[in-house]
Amino acid sequence: MSDPHHHDVASDQLLHLVFGGELESLTGSKFRDPKKLDIVGIYPNYAEAEKAWKAKAQATVDNAHMRYFIVHMHRFLDPT
**pLDDT for res 77:** 81
Strand boundaries in the chain, DSSP class E: 16-22, 38-43, 66-72
- CATH number of the domain at 16-77, out of 3.30.70.2400, 3.40.190.10, 3.40.50.800, 3.30.450.40? 3.30.70.2400
What is the rounded average pLDDT of the residues 65-79? 90
- The 10s digit of each residue's pLDDT in 41-62 is 999 999 999 999 999 999 999 9
DSSP conformation class of 26:
T
Domains of the chain by residue range: 16-77
- The 10s digit of each residue's pLDDT in 5-34 is 444 444 578 999 999 999 999 999 999 999
Q: Which residues contact 20 (CB under 8 A, 6 or more apart)?
A: 37, 38, 40, 56, 57, 60, 66, 67, 68, 69
